[in-house]
A and B are shown apart, each in its own frame.
Chain A
Amino acid sequence: MPVIPRAKIKTLLSSNSDLSKASLATRIMLTRMRLEVSNSPICIDQKVSELESVLNSKPQIAEDLASI
């Protein structure tokens, strides 16, 4: 399973970048997390840790995000 650096995860969560090549699951899940960060920017570090944990258990989503 690819390891995605924490800095990249933070960028993914705080941007609005298009993930058209990713699976629908990845696009929906990441958008929901991005929205939580956008609504409460102070929680960014918590969300980075949460997404790291998600990626450890969901190889498909990790592969999607690693290729971006």
Chain B
Amino acid sequence: MKNELLSVDEAADRIRSGAPVVVAGAAELMKQLPQGNWIGGTTAYFVTENGGAVVDDKLFCTTFENAVGATVRMVSADTLGQISDGYRENGFTVVLIPAFSKTHTEFAMTGADNVSVFDQPLVGWITGVHLDELGSKTPQIVDGSTGTAAEDGAVLLHVEMPAGSGIDVDIVNIFDQGDELTFKFDENGFAAKSVNVNGETVNLADYLIENEIDTRLPLVANYAGSMINVSIQNVDAEAKEVQFYAPVVAGMEYKLAAPQADYAAAFASSVGDSGMGQYSCNCILNYLYGELEGKKTGKFTGPVTFGEIAYILLNQTLVKLDLKAA
């Protein structure tokens, strides 16, 4: 697999080579690409070889040159349960979904209800825009097989690898569960008013404000050894409600993440020298809170995104896909 920041002409050459490609960048640039075996999603932010950067004149392309086949598909919010229908033999799937869309919400709430999504690696990300353009531009996805851009739905690239290839998906989360406080919610959702904290039901917004909790720290759940974050989007003191970037899950035990003294260093330490030649995406919140612009954080390069997908929607996490030859 090749990860490259390319001009439109160079990206077009990669697509014309016939290998499946995942493209990230500005909608205006992706419109200029030829039809082919590719999918695209909008973002303005990237982790490049030189560190975090805003790039608007190039496209980040991941080319799976060893693939033996690929299929591009679109599904809607109502047909997300059909994601695995397109899984190919010895394969994996990359999924892109526009932020703030109905499909974004639906995937977060029910995307993994159909256990067939776990049949093979499913990675991807939530597409975004430059933060200065929130409200004036809408995140998009592109079905490269037809050149069609969309502001809702999920575009899928089902990739088939040679038999015996190693395909591994995992996450890098610099956060661990912090203090002893345990947060439990009664309902699934992107917003919550009440929460049970160590056995006492309280208003979450009041609790966060009164205890001066740093809301840049996510709530962290332990999924049998994997730390899965839910990031806090907004604390509405007036409405007494807290909004999240991914849904909290009813009954799950969350703990506030332990603080990081040096965010960028924590990332660099977590990833070490790994990352070269792997597909990855990293969260916009890591980019912002870690002030990653211009800072190197290991060898992972890729889009910076409004949510990461490794079977389920993730926050403040780096998702990585590693392929090994048969």
Which of B112, B115, B228, B311 has the largest count of A CB atoms less than 10 A from its CB? Answer: B115
Dominant secondary structure at the A interface? helix
A46 within 8 A of B: no
Q: Are B251 and A28 in contact (CB under 8 A)?
A: no
Q: A18-B224, A20-B225, A22-B224 are in contact. Are A28 and B250 (CB under 8 A)?
A: no
Residues of B within 8 A of A35 (CB): 249, 251-252
Residues of B within 8 A of A34 (CB): 224
Q: Are A25 and B118 in contact (CB under 8 A)?
A: yes
Residues 214-256 of chain B, each 1 if its beta carbon lies under 8 Å from chain A, else 0 = 0000000001111010000000000000000000011110000
Tell me the complex Cα distance, A35–B251, Å: 7
In the assembled complex, the CB of B165 is this many whole angstroms from the nearest CB of chain A, namely 14
Which of A24, A28, A38 has the largest count of B CB atoms less than 10 A from its CB? Answer: A24
Residues of B within 8 A of A22 (CB): 224-225
Q: A18-B225, A28-B223 are in contact. Are A54 and B115 (CB under 8 A)?
A: yes
**Pick from B118, B225, B252: contact of A58, CB under 8 Å:** B118
Q: Are B251 and A29 in contact (CB under 8 A)?
A: no
Residues of A within 8 A of B169 (CB): 23-25
Q: Are A32 and B224 in contact (CB under 8 A)?
A: no
- Tell me the number of A-to-B contacts counted with CB atoms below 8 Å: 58
Dominant secondary structure at the B interface? mixed
Q: A24-B169, A24-B311, A28-B112 are in contact. Are A19 and B225 (CB under 8 A)?
A: yes
Q: Are B251 and A24 in contact (CB under 8 A)?
A: no
Q: A39-B251, A58-B118 are in contact. Are A28 and B225 (CB under 8 A)?
A: no
A57 within 8 A of B: yes
In the assembled complex, the CB of B84 is this many whole angstroms from the nearest CB of chain A, namely 11
Which of B112, B119, B224, B228 has the largest count of A CB atoms less than 10 A from its CB? Answer: B224
A67 within 8 A of B: no
A48 within 8 A of B: no
In the assembled complex, the CB of A54 is this many whole angstroms from the nearest CB of chain B, namely 6
Q: Report the nearest B residue to A31, measured CB to CB.
A: B223
Q: Are B226 and A28 in contact (CB under 8 A)?
A: yes
In the assembled complex, the CB of B315 is this many whole angstroms from the nearest CB of chain A, namely 14
In the assembled complex, the CB of B125 is this many whole angstroms from the nearest CB of chain A, namely 16
B5 within 8 A of A: no
Q: Report the nearest A residue to B122, measured CB to CB.
A: A25
3 smallest beta-carbon distances between A and B, as pairs: A20-B225, A19-B224, A31-B223
Residues of B in contact with A (beta carbons under 8 Å apart): 112, 115, 118-119, 121, 168-171, 223-226, 228, 249-252, 310-312
Residues of A in contact with B (beta carbons under 8 Å apart): 16-20, 22-32, 34-35, 38-39, 54, 57-58, 61
